[in-house]
Structure 1
Amino acid sequence: MRGSAFSLTVASVTDFDTAYALKYSFESIPTRPALALKESSRPDSPTTSKVCGTPYLPEHAPYPYYDGRPMFFIAQFNFSELEQLPGFPTTGLLQLFVPDTDSWGVCLTAPDQQDSRQEPTPFARYLEDLSAPHVGEMPEEEISDSGEHPAPDPLEPVTIDGVRFDQEVNYTTHEYGRTIIDPKGLRTLLRRGQDYVDIHTFQGNLVSRWVIGGETTFEQPTRDGQGSTKDAFAAAVARAEQEGFTVDPHADDYLEPIGGGDANGSSLGGYAVFWNPILMDPADPRFTLATIDQDGPCEWGDAGVGNFYIHPDDLAARNFDRVEFAWDCG
């Protein structure tokens, strides 16, 4: 790395001491389309979009169990009833469940629990064909007697509809740190014609963002158990320089302070809602499949929120076998 690069990252830090976060003025705050979930006047039926109640249970998709216990039904989305979201199905039914276990099977913030499982947790399933009759039975007594369901009345359905909006990234999401910069952290901007590489830190995470030909990719430079964040930062800058990028000496002139962004309540798509910033790598490609907030009517802990995540490749393939779940409360 050339000597000017690191000195650039600490220049003018005092100008931003009071800022919560920074962004480059030539970029917009990221947004993602979502459906804000609202209670609907639509009557309940086996296949309607709803939170709690009884899910659609055809013969080929009976009520799911995990570790010998019936799972908790959280919500289902009938895509033919809802406004279309980019990349999401337009037909079929997505169902969400959590297991009747400690912390409802949360794994994104507790990877050791994920590793100890004997079988994957089926947080979601997708039923493409809804022509089969609803014949399955729901283990109502076992669920109502458990006392651990996040909803006070899990057997009472709340039919839902969605209102389309573009949600801004908010500070509780792991995606926030992809483009938002810690005022006191390491940072630099390198350019190669119209392409650029932004290397910065946010909440202790080092992020390398490559924008080439209008396409953006993210990396998290690693230390491989050795060296400091400063060393990993220097290596990331050196790699970009090897690709023909040059440090922009005026990068700090483009920085501006921003707020934390507003979080939405229950939604399909969009960005997650958390009381506390989630412990996920900003470069993690998984994104929010659905959020069920305390208005859902689920109550995750002390007025908390539950989020279901999916990898974009899995959503494109309509594979919901690897959906992950995390919840958080104040």
Structure 2
Amino acid sequence: MFDSKVGGAYYVPRDQNLPVNQKTGAPLYLLAQINFEQIPHIKDFPEKGLLQIFISGDDGVYGLDFDNEYSQSGWCLRYLEEVPKLVDESSIYKFQYSEDTELPLEKDTTFLLKAHLDKQVITMNDIHFDEVVDTYLDENLKEVMQDDEVMDELNDLFTLIPCQIGGYPFFTQYDPRQEDSNEVLLFQLDSQDHILWGDSGVGNFFISKEDLKNKDFSHVRYYWDCY
């Protein structure tokens, strides 16, 4: 119940209400759950606790308000500082599907997340990519990167991580962050077997470095796009 995973039943503490879409009242779906004690430590991320990421399956856009990507009215995050050792069955919720349910994951899909540390090259549509290129690449390499075919191959090479915590995000359209943003990638889930964001899209969650250090998940940016 408390393993790091994508999809599946989830734990609701007795002192908390079931997470719901504030506009429709429908229960939210567990997109992903991260048990920080089960993953290698990443700088600034919690070393323990359980982060639950919920989205909506009843509004056609997975709970995202495209006019306010921080509004947790159709989705939400919950962080438990301490992971319970024992749990009562009454505290476990299994999402109820209907004919109108629309979610990135196929019905009743659940994946365990087995995390490992890795190094990553900055992705080409990261908001800071041009800054990095201007700072670190010599003029010859910059000229080569004007070739569209080369850029397409590099883009494919740099975006091979379908599910990640931290690191550099990628997008099918564009990075929603501003150039002066200090937001970092919290969690990313790409379309793959049994997972489909719209037309082969990708879902991302961002958080400021300060909020991440303080374990404050109340001002997270949620964004997904597709082809």
Fold shared per TM-score above 0.5? yes
Deviation string 1:150-199 (CA, Å, 9 cap, x unpaired) is 1112x332111112111111112223233334xxxxxxxxxxxxxxxx8x
Contact 1:122 1:323 in 2 (8 A): no
Deviation at 1:318, TM superposition (A): 0.2
Shift of 1:51: 0.5
Q: Which contiguous aligned blocks of 4+ residues in structure 1 show a shift greater than 4 angstroms? A: 119-122, 252-255, 258-261
TM-score, normalised on structure 2? 0.80
Larger Rg: 1
Name the counterpart of 1:298.
Answer: 195
Aligned to 1:63: 18
* Shift of residue 323, structure 1, vs aligned partner: 1.3
Aligned-CA RMSD value: 2.6
State the Cα distance separating 1:310 from its structure 2 match: 0.7
Partner of 1:312: 209
Residue 159 (1) aligns with residue 112 (2)? yes
Name 1:93's counterpart in structure 2: 50
Gaps of 5+ in 1: 1-45, 182-197, 199-251
Identity of aligned residues (%): 25
What one-letter code is carried by the residue in structure 1 that aligns with 2:174? P
Which structure shows the higher strand fraction? 1
Residue 176 (1) aligns with residue 108 (2): no
Q: Is the contact between residue 266 and residue 291 of structure 1 (CA under 8 Å) also seen in structure 2?
A: yes
* 1:128 matches 2:81: yes
Shift of 1:298: 2.6
Residue 121 of structure 1: how far off its partner (Å): 5.1
Q: Which amino acid aligns with 1:148?
A: E
Structure 1 pair 83–291 and aligned structure 2 pair: CA distance change class (3 A): same
Asked if the contact 1:266/1:296 (under 8 Å) is kept, the reply is no
Instruction: Name the CA distance, whole Å, in 2 between partners of 1:268 and 1:114.
Output: 19
Cα distance per residue 1:208-257 (max 9 Å; x no partner): xxxxxxxxxxxxxxxxxxxxxxxxxxxxxxxxxxxxxxxxxxxx976742
Counterpart CA distance in 1 for 2:130 and 2:63 is: 26
Aligned pairs, number: 209
CA contact (8 A) 1:169 1:271 kept: yes
Gaps of 5+ in 2: 146-150
Q: What is the CA–CA distance in structure 1 between the aligned matches of 2:138 and 2:218, rounded to whole Å?
A: 46
Measured after TM superposition, the shift of residue 280 of structure 1 is 2.8
Higher relative contact order (CA 8 A, sep 6+): 1
* Per-residue deviation, 1:278: 2.2
- Matches of 2:191 and 2:139, distance apart in 1: 39
Q: SS of the residue aligned with 2:162?
A: coil
Query: 3-state DSSP class of the match of 1:180?
Result: helix
Q: Are the counterparts in 2 of residues 62 and 136 from structure 1 also a CA contact under 8 Å?
A: no
